[in-house]
């Protein structure tokens, strides 16, 4: 275990598993270290909304006792994890950032909860999310603002901002997030940690406490995924999360390891998007990724894909149509005035569809765009692209005014496009720009998360893992 940090809370998941399955340390020792870390830094960051010290300690002790009896350990034996506040853990509340949902208690585990715990993970806490999990800054009237361990004035991202802040600061080794427009990758970018939005259907999803099924476009665009401090841990977390669950009709039994070569020789890059100028930090991140991959022997070429501004706008209109039917009536009853303004402003940017014929035509347009993307990825199997063309955001910047919010949302079009296409995308940190994290998304064909992560690992090996000041 040469080079391992002597602070147990800072261990990666792979280090934890190696130590607990060899008998070097007990699961309870790891849990104690991470629970102590939460007690130390969470009062400052406000990333964990429900600290599970007592149940986590009991769970770790039970794992130790089972291991001592000779039971076979799971692939996450003793790994401390967090789960976001918008999926179910049996017997716990699922508030999704809303005071009015604090009384909702999960009747059963969501699929990813069952998969993680079934693999031997130790749940140490639940993480914060904005109201309805629909903002790029993690703040809500129920638990308040989550801070970024890099800088108080910089957003931790959203909507899985609690997950990003927690994992960057050492409050767990794998954090759960979900992503319908960037909600895993945006916090990964802001907090300087890798994460992945898998292909649609890769990780089973279902919320037993939900009052109704999610609408179809929302299910097509949404994905559950892990954030961690190393790409290897993201891969490990994804492998466990992706286990079969019959409650998700969209789940696909695709192999996690695709045919060789996993690392293609030729890689595409999107280094400009007409109509979306890149912030200097974004341009620098793309240039760093290109340099690293070129130095590693890859041929990096510009790729032609469907109009990203057009597909981002298409994704927004389809998603907002779902929201107008399912979410807005709830927002009018339970949401704050600020989040109601937020939704009205976004709907002014990309109006929900009211004509049935237009809705049918725009769904068909999605199929055309998916076909074009898949054809492009046959030629260049991995694509490097920006995630958020404006760069990292300040706390509350998306609540500033209509113009600012519209600019932020349109700068997310490279991210939202990937959701609409159902493609996998990993966020690979590329270093610091003016002292703050920056990174790129790594996109591949459907169910080729292995390629996303392999390329992200090449970048990680070259630039190193980013460590925020709070964790040094």
Q: Which residues are catalytic?
A: 84, 159, 183
Crossing angle of helices 449-463 and 231-241, rounded to 10° = 160
DSSP 6-46: SSGGG--HHHHHHHHHHTSS-HHHHHHHHHHHHHHHHHHH-
Residue 116: asked if its preceding bond is cis (omega within 30°), the reply is no
Backbone region of residue 131 per phi and psi (left: phi > 0; alpha: psi in -120 to 50; beta: other values): beta
Taking the CA atoms of residue 81, residue 102, residue 130 and residue 249 in that order, the dihedral angle to the nearest 10 degrees is: 70
DSSP secondary-structure letter at 380? S
Identify the bridge partners of residue 82 per DSSP, sorted by sequence position.
125, 175
Strands (E), 61-165: 80-84, 122-127
Q: Is 313 helix (H, G, I), strand (E, B) or coil?
A: helix
DSSP secondary-structure letter at 118? H
Q: Is 143 helix (H, G, I), strand (E, B) or coil?
A: coil
Q: Which two tokens stand for residue 423?
A: 């493609």
Q: Which two tokens stand for residue 454?
A: 């392999």
């Amino acid at each position: 275990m040469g080079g391992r940090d002597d602070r147990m809370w800072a261990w990666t998941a792979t280090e934890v598993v190696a130590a607990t399955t060899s008998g070097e340390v007990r699961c309870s020792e790891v849990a104690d270290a991470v629970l102590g870390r939460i007690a130390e830094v969470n009062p400052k960051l406000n990333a964990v909304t429900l600290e599970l010290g007592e149940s986590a300690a009991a769970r770790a002790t039970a794992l130790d006792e089972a291991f001592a009896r000779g039971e076979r350990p799971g692939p996450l034996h003793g790994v401390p994890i967090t789960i976001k506040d918008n999926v179910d853990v049996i017997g716990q509340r699922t508030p999704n950032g809303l005071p009015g949902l604090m009384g909702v208690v999960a009747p059963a585990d969501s699929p990813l909860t069952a998969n993680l715990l079934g693999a031997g993970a130790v749940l140490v806490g639940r993480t914060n999310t904005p109201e309805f999990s629909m903002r790029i800054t993690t703040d809500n009237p129920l638990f308040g603002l989550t801070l970024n361990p890099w800088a108080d004035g910089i957003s931790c991202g959203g909507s899985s901002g609690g997950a990003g802040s927690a994992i960057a600061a050492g409050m767990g080794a794998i954090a759960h997030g979900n992503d319908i427009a960037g909600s895993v990758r945006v916090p990964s970018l802001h907090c300087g940690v890798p994460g992945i939005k898998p292909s649609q259907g890769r990780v089973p999803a279902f919320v037993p406490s939900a009052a109704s099924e999610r609408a179809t476009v929302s299910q097509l665009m949404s994905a559950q995924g892990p954030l961690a401090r190393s790409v290897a841990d993201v891969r490990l977390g994804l492998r466990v999360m992706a286990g079969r669950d019959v409650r998700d009709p969209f789940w696909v039994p695709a192999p996690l390891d695709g045919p060789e070569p996993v690392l293609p020789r030729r890689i595409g890059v999107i280094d400009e998007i007409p109509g979306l100028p890149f912030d200097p930090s974004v341009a620098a991140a793309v240039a760093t990724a290109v340099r690293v991959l070129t130095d590693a022997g890859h041929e990096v070429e510009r790729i032609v894909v469907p109009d990203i501004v057009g597909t981002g706008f298409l994704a927004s209109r389809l998603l907002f149509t779902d929201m107008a039917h399912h979410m807005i009536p709830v927002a009018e009853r339970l949401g704050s005035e600020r989040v109601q303004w937020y939704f009205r402003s976004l709907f002014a940017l990309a109006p929900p569809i009211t004509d049935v014929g237009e809705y049918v035509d725009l769904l068909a347009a999605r199929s055309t765009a998916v076909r074009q993307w898949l054809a492009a990825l046959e030629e260049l199997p991995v694509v490097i692209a920006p995630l958020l063309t404006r760069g990292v955001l300040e706390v509350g910047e998306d609540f500033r005014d209509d113009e600012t919010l519209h600019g932020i949302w349109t700068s997310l079009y490279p991210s939202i496009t990937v959701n609409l296409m159902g493609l996998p995308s990993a966020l690979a940190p590329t270093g610091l720009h003016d002292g703050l994290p920056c990174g790129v998304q790594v996109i591949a064909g459907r169910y080729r998360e292995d390629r996303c992560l392999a390329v992200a690992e090449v970048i990680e090996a070259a630039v190193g893992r980013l460590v925020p000041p709070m964790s040094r």
